[in-house]
Structure 1
Amino acid sequence: MSKRAGKAENNKKLFWRLHHWVGLYTGILIGALSLTGAVAVFIPEIDGWIVKHHYKALSSPSPTGGPQFSQSIDSLIHQHPDYSSLSISLPDHSGQVVHADVILRPEGGNLKRVDFFIDAGKDRIIGQRNHQNSLANYLRQMHVRLYEGYWGRQLVGIGGLALAVVAITGLLIYGNFMKKQLWPKLRKTRDMRIIMADWHKILGISALAFNVVIALTGAWLGLQPWLMRWLEIKTPNTFKAAIVMEPEADKAMYVNWNEILKTAKKEFPALQPRQLSSSTNGSGTVTVRGNIAGQIYERDINILVLSKTDYRPIFKYDVREQSLSHKFYFIQEALHFGDFGGLMLKALYALLGLTSGFLSISGFVIFLFRRQKKKKFQRADAWKTTFVYSVAVLLFLIGIALISLFIGYSTASLIAGILINTLLIGLIGYALLRYLFRLFNRNHQPSA
């Protein structure tokens, strides 16, 4: 064997080890993120359906053609003078309600985030819910940080890196194999190990580009706090208006929301307003956030800040006019969730996203079948073990969802944190002991 061929063989073995061990130790995490991500892409649609059918919150036709909510907002401010934040989400389609997201600070109590539903045609409050206990919040928090409040987001980022390593090493391992045929073929056999291996290759190659994009954007979004600190990256679009009055005076100022929307249309014609927020810190401003049609960036990143006193523009952020670094920063979330091409693109994202979960399961099954040769596992044991792990992940996701919806977010977060950290410590401990045991055996083998 030539030196070049030997080096290529050694590289292939290295790639295989990386593919094998990274996939094995992060398979459960990748599988959970795959399942939650496939559902999370539909958060706006799912939440809209729940609001409409569970809370019976619908908007009647507006006499002016635009959403009406000024009287309802004034009523909320008078009913809850202790509020600390107010944000208004406008409907995307006719029949949908206006959402008034209000953070309340009860005297002697904890902060409470309440979502009020407003009939956009008759300008009246027709319902409310605790935002933190909603299914939409569960889906978001579970996929973004696994409901673990301390460093769950970074753990998800590590999962993204692991998926990238598994996807790229998979391509490098099967690169030469792919040169021999246009596409992997299913071999005619009843051997389940071979069947799973063939499907593992087919789906891995088919979804390779998608998985790399999801992995890299997920790694960036998850590890963003660390990466920005280490690389000294400043967050774009962090305008802060000057304080010009006392906070209580700011909260008491009347806002003509119809005039705000008219001014936004005049000053920023391309902006599609989706969220309005009134300041409470004494800056005396109203911020209009929204999207620009045809742009692939995260939601509501374009903003227009207006003065509460005369509605003159104070600040404008149009992502189209920003530097490449700003555009790169704000394109990550849109690419990760497919939130730029309509329902069909989201369906494609969900379908391709589930392949990551299948690859985790099939890779684990293949690993267990290989152990049969060493007589450590029977074929039935391999399926039982895979079934137990899969059901455990589903029970965790469903259990945390039920606790969050019916008991509360804080309780669900506490339980999820305990389970995840216990599992993580156990996994790291097992890997370390396994390594030390092998090292001990290697150093104490009798010499030939």
Structure 2
Amino acid sequence: MRAGTIKAWYLVHKWTSLVCTVFLLMLCVTGLPLIFSDEIDRLSGETRQFGMPGVGSSSNAPGLLPLDTMMARALAARPGEVPLFMAFDNDQPSMTITTGPKPDSPGSEMTIQLFDRSTGKSLGKEEEGGVMHFLLDLHTDMFLGLPGMLFLGAIGLLFTAALVSGVVLYAPFMRKLAFGTLRTSRSSRLKWLDYHNLLGIVALAWMTVVGVSGVINTLENPINKLWQRNELAAMTRAYTGRKALDPSRYGSLDKAMAEARKALPGYNPQFIGFPGGRFSSKQHYAVFFQGDTPLTERLLTPALIDAETGAFTTARAMPWYNKSLSLSRPLHFGDYGGLPLKILWPCLMSSRS
């Protein structure tokens, strides 16, 4: 490698590393507790007792109350509001029902109610305050919304460039040394360079995965809008030009779920998007299903059901860009391999920091 080329790679590595360092530190500090958010919630929150423990609300097991009954109870608690989402749990009979003043209500106007589907009892509202929610907002968009997400995406790209330039820059020099060599008897500068290179190479693959998956996560809003504009529009082309369905004309959720299950047997429903929201058309229930394996449970397949008649319209697998987004989330937080992998994540994070 010529001297000019080395200098160019050195400048790329130097400045990309310097620019993203402060933000990477913030992301590491906020990301650490988020990795263990489930465990923290269990330790800090009250233990809820369910009527049918271990039975997921996403199932159609005997004893679970009809979806229409659960929706009626949620709307009775929020008179004048309309349903926006209904989300399920695969492990417990807990479920959430989100309502708002209108079908396209923003997040600030939504109310999320938690229910036990086995008893029909309300378990209260899901509050979005507290330390964990603060850390999540700071980690996701620095309280700046989409501009903040895109800015952190750019930081992720700089981080990836720093990794690539570091490999290109140091690889020719490291060929002369055995892997893992630490020249502790030489100058302090050389010793710390060896430590830097060793930790960097060991954690390189992990840092690349976290960096790239983080960039993909920052594109969540544009990806969802792209899906709406392309895939959802194609799935509902026959309904083009129709007026939005009034909530008073919504049909049975249980009938809609039965039709959706027929179309996608062997899948579990994760949530239902109601007409007029960003995950559905103006005339459909969008029932999003997930698989039952560690990989397929991250991949969603929507089934569209006519919200007035309960008739099945269509079902279509998500495109590659939505699949990339779905798979990037567990890769970023390391929550697909249980507690051992979660513990490994902070260890690798400390090597980066």
TM-score by length of 1: 0.63
Find the counterpart in structure 2 of residue 305 from structure 1: 304
Relative to structure 1, is the Cα distance of residues 55 and 329 closer, same or farther in structure 2, using a 3 angstrom cutoff?
closer
Amino acid at match of 1:97: S
Amino acid across the alignment from 1:35: V
Alignment of 1:265-414 (within 5 A): 265-279=261-275, 283-294=282-293, 296=295, 299=298, 301-319=300-318, 327-328=323-324, 331-338=327-334, 340-356=336-352, 358=353
Determine the C-alpha separation between the residues in 1 that align with 2:222 and 2:282: 31
Distance in 1 between residues matched to 2:342 and 2:248, nearest whole Å:
39
* Residue pair 2:299, 2:326 contacting (<8 A) in 1 also: no
- Distance 1:154-1:93 versus aligned 2 partners, 3 A rule: same
Q: Name the residue aligned to 1:398.
A: none
| Distance in 2, Cα, partners of 1:176 & 1:124 | 65
1:91 aligns with 89
Partner of 1:26: 20
Query: What is the DSSP-based 3-state SS (H/G/I as helix, E as strand, rest coil) of the residue aligned with 2:252?
Result: coil
Report the 3-state secondary structure (helix = DSSP H, G, I; strand = E; otherwise coil) of the residue aligned with 1:60: coil
Q: 1:264 to 1:275 in 2, by over 3 A?
A: same
Q: Distance in 2 between matches of 1:218 and 1:210?
A: 12
Identify the residue that residue 60 of structure 1 maps to in structure 2.
51
2:73 alignment partner AA? S
Could you tell me whether the CA contact under 8 Å between 1:72 and 1:125 is conserved in 2? no
1:183 aligns with 2:179: yes
Question: Take 2:273 and 2:223, find their aligned partners in 1: how far apart are those partners?
Answer: 29
Q: Is the 8 A contact 1:253 1:308 kept in 2?
A: yes
Match of 2:157 in 1: 161
Residue type of the partner of 1:312? A
User: What is the deviation of 1:71?
Assistant: 2.7
In the TM superposition, residue 157 of structure 1 has moved relative to its aligned partner by 0.9
More helix by share: 1
CA contact (8 A) 1:178 1:184 kept: no
Mark the CA change 1:182 to 1:264 in structure 2 (over 3 Å): closer, same or farther. Answer: farther
Q: Which whole-Å CA distance do the structure 2 matches of 1:157 and 1:78 have between them?
A: 42
Matches of 1:32 and 1:299, distance apart in 2: 27
Q: Which residue of 1 aligns with 2:10?
A: 16
Distance 2:309 2:268 in 1: 22
Amino acid at match of 2:184: K
Paired with 2:313 and 2:155, the residues of 1 have a C-alpha distance of 41
Q: Give the C-alpha shift of residue 333 in structure 1.
A: 4.0
Structure whose alpha-carbon radius of gyration is higher: 1
Kindly state the Cα deviation for residue 164 of structure 1 after the two structures are TM-superposed.
0.7
Counterparts of 2:23 and 2:249 in 1: how far apart (Å)?
A: 48
Closer, same or farther: CA 170–307 of 1 in aligned 2, 3 Å: same
Aligned to 2:207: 211
Please give the per-residue CA displacement for 1:173-207, whole angstroms capped at 9, x wherever unaligned: 22023323442233436976555433322221111
Q: Is 2:138 the counterpart of 1:121?
A: no
- The alignment status of 1:49 with 2:42, answered yes or no, reads yes
Q: Structure 1 counterpart of 2:81, which letter?
A: Y
Residue 302 of structure 1 deviates from its aligned partner by 1.3
Q: After superposing the two structures, state which structure 1 stretch, 329-338 or 75-84, moved more.
A: 329-338
TM-aligned CA distance change 1:213 to 1:177, over 3 Å: same
1:135 CA drift (Å): 5.1
Q: CA deviation at 1:47?
A: 7.5
1:27 positional shift:
0.5
Contact 1:38-1:351 at 8 Å conserved across structures: no
Query: Which residue identity does 2:12 align to in structure 1?
Result: L
Q: Residues 350 and 313 from structure 1, CA distance in 2 versus in 1: closer, same or farther, beyond 3 angstroms?
A: farther
- Going from structure 1 to structure 2, the CA distance change for 1:348 and 1:66 (only over 3 Å counts) comes to farther
Where 1:198 maps in the other structure, the secondary structure is helix
Moved more, 17-26 or 151-160: 17-26
Q: Any conservation in 1 of the 2:163–2:208 contact (CA below 8 Å)?
A: yes
* Structure-to-structure mapping, 1:245-260, within 5 angstroms: 247-248=245-246, 250-251=247-248, 253-257=250-254, 259-260=255-256
> Does the CA contact (< 8 Å) of 2:75 and 2:82 recur in 1?
no
Which region of structure 1 is more displaced relative to structure 2, 22-31 or 133-142?
Answer: 133-142
- Percent of pairs with identical residues: 18
1:142 paired with 2:138, answer yes
SS class of match (1:151): helix
Matches within 5 A, 1:232-243: 237-239=231-233, 241=236, 242=239
What count of residue pairs does the alignment treat as equivalent?
336
Between the aligned partners of 2:338 and 2:201, the Cα distance in structure 1 is 25
2:102 maps to 1:112:
no
CA offsets, 1:297-319, max 9 Å, x none? 79463111112344321121224
Q: Answer yes or no: is the 8 Å Cα contact 1:67–1:121 preserved in 2.
A: yes
Q: Please, what TM-score do these two structures have when normalized by structure 2? A: 0.77
Counterpart secondary structure, 2:286: strand
Please give the alpha-carbon distance, in whole angstroms, between the structure 2 residues aligned to 1:289 and 1:228.
Answer: 14
SS at match of 1:18: helix
Closer, same or farther: CA 245–235 of 1 in aligned 2, 3 Å: closer
Q: Output the CA distance in 2 between the equivalents of 1:102 and 1:333.
A: 26
Separation in 1 of the partners of 2:335 and 2:231?
20
SS at match of 1:269: coil
Q: Distance in 1 between matches of 2:245 and 2:231?
A: 23
Q: Which residue of 1 aligns with 2:58?
A: none
Give the Cα–Cα distance (whole angstroms) in 2 for the partners of residues 334 and 297 of structure 1: 12
**Structure 1 alignment gaps of length 5 or more:** 359-448
1: CA distance, partners of 2:190 / 2:157 = 28
For residues 289-341 of structure 1, the C-alpha deviation after alignment (integer angstroms, 9 at most, x for no partner) is 1322447479463111112344321121224xx5x566556544454344544
Q: CA separation in 2, counterparts of 1:244 and 1:291?
A: 30
Report if aligned partners of 2:299, 2:323 keep a CA contact under 8 Å in 1: no
Q: In the TM superposition, what is the alpha-carbon distance from 1:270 to its structure 2 partner? A: 3.7
- Contact 1:97–1:119 (CA<8 Å) still a contact in 2? yes
